[in-house]
Each structure stands twice: as C-alpha cells, then as structure tokens.
C-alpha cells in the first residue's frame, strides 16, 4: 500500500469515527463516548480506534469540533449574506429553529451542544469543558455583534442592552431544544417565533 493510499484510508477511518461519535454524543452525551462502544458500532478493534485518537478526551474534542462545523453550516452560513444587524439576526434565528427541529441525521438525539452544556456546566475546568464554554462564548459574541449593529442603526430601541438580549435568545433556544426533545412539542417552533417577535420586534 502506498503512503498516499494509507494516509487517505486513515483519514476516511477517522472521519467515520468522528461522525459516529457525534451521533452517539447527541444521544448519550460526550461521556457516553466509550472506546468499546464505538469500536463495536464501527466494527473496529479498540486498539485500532485508539490509534486514531489516543484518548477519550481527544475523541470528545474532535466530536465537539465536528458538531461545531455542522452547527455553523446549518445556522450561521445560510444567514451570512444577509444585511448585518436585525436582518441577519432574524435570519440566524430562523435557521436555528430549523436546525433544532430537523437536524436528525448528524444529531439523532438533538443538539449536541445543549446536551454538552448541561453535561459539563457543573464540572471542574478541563479541556472538554473549556471547549464547550469557548464555543458557547463564540456564538454569544456573534449574536451580540448583530444586536449592537441593530441598536446603532435604530432597528432596536436605543436603550437595548445587546448582552441581555443575547442572554434571552440563548435561553429561548435552550428551551426550544428541550421542548422538542423531551416533550415532543410540535408547537414549540411557532411559540419560539412568537417569542422572537416580542423580543426583537
């Protein structure tokens, strides 16, 4: 086997492992990513799987990064061309609803980040908890940017606190995920849209 072919095969195997890890973590949490479980699911040996990642923590971090890519492609990318401010923010919010409502191929158990936030918010600092917090802060900053633009442009009242509105938006989507996953509430997306109308005008 040529080095190039060997590298390509290793990359494909790693991709399969990460893809399966994201799906499992969305259902069972990042702590549910066990080497034995994944090896069985993928028809691999434990040593073969460990050869690609070395530790469970490295695998958890890889799953988080992949989930972040999926979230960004589903929520941020479609709204990227919209006019900055309230127009782009509303587009992001609508894509976020669609993502939580329909993204089941990659996340059969619902949003991996909602699961990860609940799973790690009470843990001691560590690489996985830090990665969850970093991603969470990054998305919050993106919301705040458009909220600040909207305030400066007069699209929102002058006294609007962008950080407060971002806080409320994130809470709204955490609640939406819970309503969809736990309660199977089919009205939750429309309830969220009504809440957004009150919050953003």
What are the residue boundaries of the structural domains of the chain, listed by start?
A: 3-200
| pLDDT above 90 coverage of the chain, percent | 65
- pTM for the full predicted model: 0.86
Q: Are the CB atoms for 132 and 116 separated by under 8 Å?
A: yes
Higher pLDDT, 101 or 79: 79
CA 35 to chain centroid, in Å, comes to 23
HSE, side-chain direction, 13 A CA sphere, residue 190: 3
Mean predicted confidence (pLDDT) in 6-34: 88
Rounded to 10 degrees, the C-alpha dihedral 122/128/131/136 comes to -40
CA distances from 119 to 35, 63, 140 (A): 19, 15, 19
pLDDT digits (tens, 9 = 90+) for 120-139: 888 888 999 999 999 999 99
pLDDT at 62 over 90: yes
- We find that the CATH architecture of domain 3-200 is Orthogonal Bundle (1.10)
pLDDT of 105 > 80? The answer is no
Residue 154 has pLDDT above 80, yes or no: yes
Burial pattern 24-42, b for ≥16 Cβ within 10 A else e, equals: bbbeebbebbebeebbeeb
Report pLDDT for 2.
Answer: 52
| pLDDT at res. 67 | 92
């Amino acid at each position: 086997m040529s080095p190039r072919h060997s590298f390509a095969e290793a990359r494909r195997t790693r991709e399969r492992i990460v893809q399966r890890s994201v799906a499992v973590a969305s259902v069972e949490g990042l702590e549910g990513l066990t080497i034995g479980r994944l090896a069985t699911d993928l028809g691999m040996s434990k040593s073969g799987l460990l050869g690609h990642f070395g530790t469970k923590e490295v695998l958890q971090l890889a799953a988080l990064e992949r989930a972040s890519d999926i979230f960004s492609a589903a929520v941020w990318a479609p709204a990227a061309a919209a006019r900055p401010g309230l127009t782009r923010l509303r587009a992001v919010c609508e894509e976020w609803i669609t993502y939580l409502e329909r993204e089941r191929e990659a996340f059969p158990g619902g949003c991996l980040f909602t699961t990860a936030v609940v799973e790690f918010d009470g843990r001691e600092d560590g690489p996985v908890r830090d990665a969850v917090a970093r991603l969470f802060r990054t998305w919050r900053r993106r919301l705040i940017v458009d909220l600040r633009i909207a305030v400066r442009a007069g699209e929102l009242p002058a006294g609007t606190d962008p950080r407060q509105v971002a806080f409320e938006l994130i809470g709204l989507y955490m609640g939406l995920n819970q309503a969809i996953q736990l309660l199977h509430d089919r009205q939750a997306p429309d309830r969220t849209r009504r809440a957004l109308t009150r919050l953003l005008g």
